[in-house]
Chain A
Amino acid sequence: MGCRIGEGMKMRVCVLFMEGTNCEDETRRAFEQIGLEAELVHLKQLTGDVIPELRRNLGDYSVLMIPGGWSAGDYVRAGAIFAARIKSKLREDIKDFIEDGKLVLGVCNGFQVLTELGLLPAFEGISETPEAALTNNANGRFQCRPVYLKHTGKCRFTEKIGEDNVLQIPVAHAEGRFTFGENDEKYLEKLIENEQIVFRYCRADGSDALGEFPWNPNGSLYDIAGICNPEKNVLGMMPHPERVVDGIQQADWTRKKKGRGDGRIFFESIRECLKRGF
C-alpha cells in the first residue's frame, strides 16, 4: 500500500464528534500530551453543513479518531446513527482516507461506530452492512472498571507496545460484547488467521481471561477487546487509553511507584507510526 504520510506533512489528528460524544476533550488532550496536533471536529464540519469558515476536509488530517460517548444517545443501537450519518455523506472520503494508508481509530463508542460502518472487521474491504456487533454486556449492566489487556496483534500503530505486553486500561460501556452472532466460529478463525485481534482481555499476570468476569468485563467472544482491519490501519477497541496517559490516572496508582500511565505508550505508538510514515 502506498503511503503519503511522511516528513514535511502535517500530522494532524481529527477528533470527530457529534451530539452525545463525550470523551473528545480528554482524547485531544492525550494526543497533545505526546506532541501530536489534534483538532476537535464536529461531524457537521466534515459534511459541510456549516458556514464556510468552519468547514473541514478529512483529507487534511493524518489520523481520524472517533472517541467514546453516546453519539445520538446510542438510540437504535450504539454507534448506529453516527455511522449512518458518516456513510451517507463521507463514504468516499473515508474510503480514500483508508486506502491512502492513513490511520482510523475508534475507542468505545468509536469502535461501535467503526463496526456499524463496516470498517471493521472488513474481511473483504469495507462492508455494506455490519459484519459484527458490539452488543449488550453479558451481565446486562454498564461497567466502569479497570481491565487488563494483552497486546496480541500486529496493528500498524500499536507496534511500540510490544507483543504480549499487558496494559491496565479502564472500560466504561454497556454494549461491548463483541460477537459475530451465528457466525462466531467461522469468522473468529478468520480474525485469528488474519492477525486482526489487537487486544484481548486477560488476567493481571497476562494469562487468558477465558471469558470470566470481571477479567473479561462484557462476555466478549474470545476475550476480544480490540480488532483491526486486514490492512492494519483501522483499529477499534472498547477500553479507553486516553483516560490513563498519566500514572495518577491509573486505578491503583497509590499502590505503585508513580510513573507513566499505561495509555501513554498507545498514543506514543501512533506518533511513531506517523513519523515512520509506514
Chain B
Amino acid sequence: MDYKVEVRIELKQGVIDAEGETIQKSLKLLGYPIEKVSSVKVYIIEVKAISKEDAEKKINEACRRLLANPVIQNYSLSVKNA
C-alpha cells in the first residue's frame, strides 16, 4: 500500500539557527513586526509499505541514515494513507 509520510526536521534547542535569523532580519526589513523565525525542514515522502507501522519503521530508518543528524537535529514524522 502507498503511504504518505511527513517528516519534520528541527534544530535542537540551543543550536544557532542562522537561516531562521537571516530570514527574520529580512522580514523585518520588509516591514513586518517579526521577532523570531525558526527554520524547519519538511519532507513529504511517498512510500510503499505493508502497514502503517511498516511505513513508519522504514522512514524512521531513513531519518537516521540520512535525513537527520542527531547531533544537532530532532525529527518527528506522521504517516497517512496516500
Contacts and interface: CB of A to CB of B under 8 A. Distances in A.
A147 interface: no
Given A130-B71, A181-B72, A84 B65 contact: yes
By size class, the interface of chain B is 10 to 19
Nearest to A80: B66
Contact of B15 (A77, A129, A131, A135): A135
B69 interface: yes
A172 interface: no
Interface in B49-68: 64-67
Contact of A181 (B15, B22, B66, B67): B15
Question: Contact residue range for chain A?
Answer: 20 to 34
A79 to B, nearest CB: 10
A184 to B, nearest CB: 10
Given A138-B18, A140-B22, A182-B14, A133 B65 contact: no
A138 B71 contact: no
Interface of B: 12, 14-19, 21-22, 64-67, 69-72
29 contacts: A76-B66, A76-B67, A80-B66, A80-B69, A81-B66, A84-B65, A87-B65, A129-B69, A130-B70, A131-B71, A133-B71, A133-B72, A135-B15, A135-B16, A136-B18, A136-B19, A137-B18, A138-B16, A138-B18, A139-B18, A140-B21, A140-B22, A177-B16, A179-B72, A181-B12, A181-B14, A181-B71, A183-B71, A219-B16
B14 to A, nearest CB: 7
Interface in A158-187: 177, 179-183
B13 to A, nearest CB: 9
A268 to B, nearest CB: 34
A183 B22 CA distance: 26
Contacts of B14: 181-182
A129 B18 CA distance: 24
Contacts of A116: 69
A182 B70 CA distance: 10
Contacts of B18: 136-141
B69 A180 contact: no
Contacts of A180: 71
A237 interface: no
Given A140-B21, A140-B22, A133 B16 contact: no
